[in-house]
Chains A and B, each alone.
Chain A
Amino acid sequence: MPVVTALLAGLLFGVGLIVSGMADPSKVLGFLDLAGAWDPSLAFVMVGAIAVGLVAFAIAGKRTLSFIGQDMKLPSARHVDIRLVGGSLLFGIGWGIAGFCPGPALVALGMGQAKAVVFVVAMLLGMGIFELAERATRHPARKD
């Protein structure tokens, strides 16, 4: 059951990205281009998504099990550190270069765009570098 609901959530999320214009890197860059001809559309994406999200997360926060009996796994971290800020800055630079963040890149991959394939492969490589660095720092003595 959680696999089916995950598939449907991903599908709906992706359709939302297409409808909103976020799956189009040029539109994203038009939003990030404050100094040029600015397209404020994507602020409306955030407003629409957060309006619904506020209600949903208020309900979710009061529950220990989901409506289909899954454990609620909401993040509990509260600290702001260099990883959070530094990582987010790097992400923002990458976002500003190509106009792709992870979700829209996966949707564009599904449209069969060769450039999206290249971006997604590089993104997975970046995530892999993070995993290797994490393993190296957390288990310096482990030889695997």
Chain B
Amino acid sequence: MSIDWHAFTPYASLAGGVLIGLAAASFVLLNGRIAGISGILGGLLRPAAGDVAWRAAFVLGLVAAPLAYALFAAVPAPRISAGWMSLVAAGLLVGIGTRYGSGCTSGHGVCGLSRLSPRSLVATLAFMAAGFATVFILRIATSL
């Protein structure tokens, strides 16, 4: 392992993390719910009375975030290196996996760990390990 010091952004990442924490904090203290994005989005596919508007509003907020950010600074363009077929496969796996696993990076990783939930700790270790392993395997596969 070597550290990529040029890409390393500890202050911005810490500050962004605090904003994410504040968003999750306001959501649980005001809406009384976990800011788990896969659960909020997935719940829209199981619509129930009185349960749609707040979900749609949260998702809309996420999608509109670049617009809000653009009021203060130029939005950095995301660098998406995956090809089209990889994106489809990845999207399917993320969609199915987060619903069976009851959460993603936000619900388990941020909120669950903040709640000291053993389930979320197991889930977070599992998806982190799978993420590290997948990048490692793809690195070998593409260098052959």
Contacts and interface: CB of A to CB of B under 8 A. Distances in A.
Please determine whether chains A and B interact with each other in the same assembly.
yes
Interface of A: 2-27, 29-30, 32-42, 44-57, 59-61, 65-68, 70-75, 77-80, 83-111, 113, 115-116, 118-131
Interface residues of B, number: 109
A94 B2 contact: no
Nearest to A98: B90
Nearest to B10: A44
10 contacts: A13-B37, A13-B62, A17-B16, A33-B136, A41-B13, A54-B114, A96-B134, A102-B94, A124-B45, A127-B96
Mostly, the B contact residues are helix
Interface string B1-20: 11110011110111111111
Interface of B: 1-4, 7-10, 12-35, 37-38, 41-42, 45-46, 53-55, 57-69, 75-82, 84, 86-102, 104-106, 108-111, 113-115, 117-119, 122-124, 126-136, 138-139
Contacts of A80: 118-119, 122
